[in-house]
Every structure is written in C-alpha cells, then in structure tokens.
Amino acid sequence: MKIEIPRYIEVFGAAQINEVQRVYELDSGVTSEVPAENVGTVRDIGKDVMNDIEQRMAIVVSTKNEKLRLLDGVMSGIPHDCLIIVVSNSTRKPIDRYKNEMELVKQFNKFVQRKVIMIHQRDPGLAKALREVGYTDILQGRYVRNGKGEGALVGLVLAKLAKKDYVGFVDADNFIPGAVHEYVKNFNSGFSMASSPYSMVRISWLYKPTVIETGFYFSRWGRINEYTNKYLNRLISSHSGFGTEIIKTGNSGEYAMSMKLAELLAFSSGSSVDPYTMLNLLEAFGPSNPINNKEVREKGVQIYQIETRNPHIHVDKGDEHLANMLLSSIGIIYHSRICSDALRKVMIDELIASGLIKKGVTPPNPPTMRPTKNLNFKTLQEFLEINAKTLVTMGEASTQNQAPS
C-alpha cells in the first residue's frame, strides 16, 4: 500500500492524533521501497510487512441478525492469515440463527481452511466465566448484556486468549467484501507506521452511501459523525485552548488496536463503543490524567485515521436506529469526566435547537466496562472451555471446542 505520511499531528497529553491520511495505491508490490524523491511524502508498505502483521492480528466480526450472505462476504474479505472471531448476538428462537451462522462458517472453512473462533454473546457459560474472574461490568443477570460494545469486548478477550498482538473490529452488515479487505490493509499500514507499541488505526470513509430497495441513499448517518467529531474536537480544544478539526473518525465502526493499547482501554455499551474507544483514549492518556504506565509516558499513544478508496456500503436500519446511535454517541461524550460544563451546555443547546432532544432531557449515559488488562485470563480460559457451549474453534485457533460436525 502506498499512503501519504500524516501532514499534521495534534498532541493531547500522551496521545498523538494523526490527520487523515490518503491511500495512493492499495497494492504497492512485494517489498517496501520509496524512491528517494518521495521519502518525505509517502510510505510504501509492502506485502512482506502487511503479512507479518496479519499473522499477529485477530479481526472481530460483530453480528446480530445480519443476512448470512453479508457475513459470508465480510469473512471472505478478511486476509487469510488473520484470525477471524465472530461474536454473534443473533436470535436463537423461533429460528436458531446462530446455528445457521455456525453452519455457514463451517461451510466457508471447508474451502478456505483457516483459523476461526465463534461464540454467542448470550451464552450463559460465557457470562459464568466472566463472573468467575470478577468482570461483572459486562453482565446483566445470567448473561452478557446485549450491545455491540459488549460483543466487541468479548471479541477482544478471545483475541487476547489467542495471543494476538493486534485486534481489529469490523461490522458484519457490509455489502462490499473488497472494502473489508481494504480496512484490514489500512489497519496494517497504520501499525507499520507506528513507533509506539500503543497504537490505534481508525477508518475514515470517503463515501458512505447506504442501500435501500430502490438504490443508493446518502443516509443521515453522516450527521451522527458530524456531531460526534465536532464534540470530540471541542473537547480537545477546551483543554488545549486551540480550535481543532483533527478527529474525523469519531463514529467509525471499523478500527483496530495493538493489544497493548486495547487492554488498557475501557469499552462502552452498544453503539457508543465506537466513539468511546477514541474518547476513553483521550480520558486515559490526555493532559488531565496522571499516566502511571512508564512505557506509555515515554512512547506515547499513536492514532492513525486512514481514508479508504472503497465506499462503505452497509445496511440502513432506519431513522429510529440512527437517532438512538446519535444519542448514545453524544451521551458518552456529554457524561465524560473530561467534558467541561461549558461544553455540556453548548451540546444541550445545539441538540435542543436541532430537535434531537427535548428541553429538560439529558442524553443517555451508556454503561462502561473497565480495561481488561488485569483479568485472570488463565482462569477465564478454563471456565470458558468448560462452560461456554457455543464457543467453537476451527483451524488451529486454539484448543477449545471443535466445530460441530
């Protein structure tokens, strides 16, 4: 991949946020070589470097009642050497959609023979294992809570158990397998540029049409990103004293982290998880927080935002879904401990003025789940192996339950 080097970097405490970077070539050949005259403007990331990172990466696919063809397409786009982790919250009654997903993945793997792990988010055995290690933050009664953020966290835990160095997240409702392929390449290019072991790569889409029965529709989803980015940027400005528009990927649902960073971050519930991975990074490593981790203090945390060449085309789930996503995304910023009262007032005034919330109502405060770094992973694995009946591994991903025949 040939990609421009970041032209501008915003520094926020230990966090270094790079401006959006443009991809020039999706495939730039086998090895990484840049002609001398271009050294200061582009980076060339060859297949050798890409492949090395892919072998050390897990891609978590979150799915809830998506069409099997979409899940199949998404998996086909993930480079072969990455471990695929499917975390499903699909309904099991009256039709067992998870069983159908397992059949699909098994069939897929007959042809491609790769490493895949699957689990159902509402498996009581999963909840039992998490309770055993004291991670009740994610639980609701006998189960892991519903929500995309909870699914992502389960995926992160499985990636850690599989001893991966990088973990990426992609949605299952993507119509373009080639776009998914590109996201993973974009993740790799970001990681290959990082000098710190604590890094995050977020996808910025050039086009975001959605598909409806009559064709393409440029959905209002853009508005959610607009608000989330605006408030995250204002949050940075309120601390630095300088206006900024550095954050362009606040609502990106596709991002990846080095495991060293992922396990230091808290996650949040539902769709607020996408902005929260960025927000929590600002909370944890920004100027107002003492950073105890010496390596983080010295090496910093690097965030890359990479603009895709493929359009992002996903399922349009309607206005109510978008309104909920907007409110939870804004809510998580509104309730942040680094959000000033002045910014909260601006947010409320703007949301009331645009009809998104009523006077006297405050945005929701989605639950958060503390960082996973100090969990007892050995015990967690033992309990998962014994109790999680929906946990399935294919290929040589690990030693847990084998795929059903």
Query: Which positions touch ligand GDD (CB under 6 A)?
Result: 62-64, 66, 87-89, 121, 146-148, 151, 171-173, 251, 253, 271, 274, 312, 314, 317, 321
Closer Cβ to ligand GDD, 189 or 271, answer by number: 271
Q: How far is the CB of 13 from ligand GDD (least distance, A)?
A: 25
Please name the residues in contact with 13: beta carbons below 8 A apart, sequence gap of 6 or more: 282, 285, 286, 287, 288, 289, 291
Closer Cβ to ligand GDD, 38 or 146, answer by number: 146
Closest CA to 180 of 314, 286, 324, 18: 314
Count of CB atoms situated within 10 Å of the CB of 294: 8
Closest CA to 83 of 160, 159, 181: 159
Q: How far is the CB of 157 from ligand GDD (least distance, A)?
A: 13
Please name the residues in contact with 390: beta carbons below 8 A apart, sequence gap of 6 or more: 98, 118, 119, 120, 123, 125, 126
Closer Cβ to ligand GDD, 74 or 193, answer by number: 74
First to last CA, the chain: 40
Sort 128 into a burial class: Cβ within 10 Å, 0-12 / 13-18 / 19+. middle
DSSP letter string, 87-135: EE----SSS-HHHHHHHHHHHHHHHH---EEEEETT-HHHHHHHHHTT-
Q: How far is the CB of 99 from ligand GDD (least distance, A)?
A: 16
- Using omega within 30 degrees of 0 as the cis cutoff, is the peptide bond preceding 94 cis? yes
Sort 353 into a burial class: Cβ within 10 Å, 0-12 / 13-18 / 19+. exposed
* Cα(345)–Cα(388) distance, integer angstroms: 46
Residue count of the chain:
405
Q: Which residue is nearest to ligand GDD (CB)?
A: 253
Q: How far is the CB of 158 from ligand GDD (least distance, A)?
A: 12
Q: How far is the CB of 78 from ligand GDD (least distance, A)?
A: 14
Closer Cβ to ligand GDD, 77 or 253, answer by number: 253
Closer Cβ to ligand GDD, 88 or 302, answer by number: 88
Closer Cβ to ligand GDD, 121 or 233, answer by number: 121
Q: How far is the CB of 326 from ligand GDD (least distance, A)?
A: 10
Q: How far is the CB of 129 from ligand GDD (least distance, A)?
A: 17
Cα–Cα distances in angstroms (integers) from residue 314 to residues 146, 205, 223, 270, 290, in the given order:
21, 12, 16, 18, 40
Closer Cβ to ligand GDD, 300 or 304, answer by number: 304
Q: How far is the CB of 190 from ligand GDD (least distance, A)?
A: 18
Closer Cβ to ligand GDD, 170 or 235, answer by number: 170
* Cα(133)–Cα(249) distance, integer angstroms: 33
Closer Cβ to ligand GDD, 54 or 66, answer by number: 66
Please name the residues in contact with 269: beta carbons below 8 A apart, sequence gap of 6 or more: 145, 147, 149, 150, 328, 366, 367, 368, 369
Q: How far is the CB of 305 from ligand GDD (least distance, A)?
A: 14
